[in-house]
Structure 1
């Protein structure tokens, strides 16, 4: 795989309901193209005529990784990124293991941002979603957490380049935290391009 420094890729990790999708929307406002890793699993579910509910998507995710390796979703995501040659800034929503991040890190200037929130706050966030994979009750929510932990998300969260706590803060405060980190990373990326004599447009 060719390593490119022509793109800044920010990967988001965190437990379900922590606020990753909200952060991804902020980054889109900053000009980032958004890729959701969970869409890879949803696409496979559609191919196999499976219901797009929490249980089926969770089981498919585990079985897909077991069959093709823990980094398969990341490899498919890399393919999506390489098809976005004209997009300089990309956000990848949904890193579930550090192995996945390592795969993505091989493509160039890549950062990992973790979003934290307490279980109660995350459950409330999830229940407010209008999605087919929303857990039907608190027990299913906890089972989903266990699936995420079994994939290895804890290590990704622990080893992130930066982390943001989404506990008891407003949406605007969250956006300010994100903007501060992203501006720093964009500056680092542009400085890196200058050092490598790559023209910045």
Structure 2
């Protein structure tokens, strides 16, 4: 017999609207994630999960160490390992219906999360020059110290499959020449469209359960 708590948990997961963000470093994913957070979305950052694992293993927080850790986790536990950890966090959010996941790095990660609820993938594009300018403004321990290290980070991201995630995203935004207001406006248009789809999806899901 199914307990009431199990039913509540199942419905919560079933009805969640999850936006996954992908894009090369410095494209503007975090800006979009913060904006969605201000709109009521609960933010989960995949990079934070890597940083948590680094703390557990007493590893430095520099870019190379975190990058090597990310690759090792995928090598030993599969390309979907970080997404599975994210999925566990999402399942704990029983009363949260709006979630944004910042930092999808492979299409396989997206497929794992797509099984949870109503999930969409948004790619943020920007040129290498724009992205490097953005990254230089960051005040984070994993910020590349020079352009060479920035390019090495790009190569690492490409090696785990981010190109496919970007190419197969449900929607994409080119963030080369956009002001902050323009970027937010683009996001709002997409979210409005997806919100309407989400409402229809919920109704159909309710009728078939």
TM class by shorter chain equals: over 0.9
Question: Do residues 117 (structure 1) and 129 (structure 2) align?
Answer: no
Structure-1 separation of matches of 2:75 and 2:11: 27
After the TM superposition, list the runs of 4 or more consecutive aligned residues in structure 1 that deviate by more than 6 angstroms.
Answer: none
Residue 37 of structure 2 corresponds to which residue in structure 1? 28
Q: How do residues 15-164 of structure 1 correspond to structure 2 at under 5 angstroms?
A: 15-164=24-173
Distance 1:85 1:3, change over 3 A: closer
- CA-to-partner distance for each residue in 1:12-45, whole Å, 9 max, x for gaps? 0000000000000110111100000011110111
Structure with more helix by fraction: 2
Residue 181 of structure 2 corresponds to which residue in structure 1? 172
Structure 2 gaps of 5+ residues are 1-9
**Which deviates further from its counterpart, 188-197 or 140-149?**
188-197
Structure-2 separation of matches of 1:88 and 1:74: 18
Structure-2 separation of matches of 1:197 and 1:156: 30
2:206 is paired with a residue whose SS is coil
Whether the 8 Å contact between 1:3 and 1:106 is mirrored in structure 2 is no
Structure-1 separation of matches of 2:16 and 2:70: 28
Structure 1 gaps of 5+ residues are none
Q: Normalization by structure 2: what TM-score?
A: 0.92
**Aligned-CA RMSD value:** 1.5
Q: Normalization by structure 1: what TM-score?
A: 0.95
Distance 1:179 1:24, change over 3 A: same
Whether the 8 Å contact between 2:12 and 2:96 is mirrored in structure 1 is no
1:191 is paired with a residue whose SS is helix
CA offset at residue 4 of structure 1?
3.9
Distance 1:122 1:15, change over 3 A: same
Structure-1 separation of matches of 2:163 and 2:11: 29
